[in-house]
Amino acid sequence: MGIQSYALTVPGPVRGAVRTTQRAKWVDPAYARYASWKTSVRLHANLAGIPVALRSDQSACVRLSVHWVSRQRCDLDNVMKGLLDALWSNDRRVTEIVGTTRENTGDESISIEVEIWQGTERPATATTESAPTG
């Protein structure tokens, strides 16, 4: 099967995951904004062709670059959590996540690249980024 690659950009404002109780989901304005943002992300993902669910024989790598006007509302790990929740209801098949941030860019957006492949091992044809040494 090889690797299926997808790319999309989600315009801002950027939202991070919101923790809440089941009861508060219906009355918390912050959660309502977060839920609306997740729906928007999923709609952009649909337009990019990203599958709604990962099959049990598939794995995925997600790379994201978050651009902030200023980073006062949330941090990268909360954005990653919210993004994965928006893309897939069961994100345990995501085996690799790479995230970067850019502050004071003048606009807010998230650039996302998703790679999906069969099995748990990434095929040799996939490009992998190595960590800087030294």
For the chain, the structural domain boundaries read 3-118
* Most confident option among 13-22, 69-78, 81-90, 124-133: 81-90
pLDDT average, residue stretch 9-13: 83
The answer to whether 115 and 4 are in contact (CB under 8 A) is yes
pLDDT digit string, tens, across residues 62-71: 988 888 776 6
* Residue of 42 and 101 predicted with greater confidence: 42
- CB atoms < 10 A from the CB of 97, how many? 16
Q: Which of 37, 38, 35 is nearest to 25 (CA)?
A: 35
Is residue 43 predicted with pLDDT exceeding 90? yes
CATH hierarchy code of domain 3-118: 3.30.1330.70
Rounded distance, CA 29 to CA 66, Å? 23
pLDDT average, residue stretch 99-108: 78
